[in-house]
Structure 1
Amino acid sequence: MAFTNPLTFLQQTRSEVSKVVWPTRREVLVTTLMVFALAMIGALFFSLVDILIRMGLEQVLALGERAENLR
């Protein structure tokens, strides 16, 4: 592994950092709102799926209980 002179390393690091394009305040706000919106949509979706699975499972268990009571 080749070692770099610390001064050269700092110069290269500064050069790379200067190439970074920082987002504007508006871009940060819009992307943050999109993340929250999509998180809410995902939470609602999985909540509905959970409710539907629970209802279906309760129906299946109720059928089994009724069948057991008929014996």
Structure 2
Amino acid sequence: MQPTPPLPIRDQAMEIVQSLPPDASWDELMYRIYVRQTIERGLEDSTADRVTEVAELRRQFGLPA
């Protein structure tokens, strides 16, 4: 079974707009688009194995393990 191809951006944007409450602001719309885009980029990075282990980040920033 093959994964379902992602919806076109226009359709994804429509889903976000339709999920907003009637009194939503432009800021709320932009925030939801930003969050969606950030999550999708993170998932792409994870799939492509472009990740850094938490322990490595803690070491780089001098934080306790």
TM-score by length of 1: 0.38
Determine which structure has the larger helix proportion and give its number.
1
> Larger relative CO (CA 8 A, sep 6+): 1 or 2?
2
TM-score by length of 2: 0.41
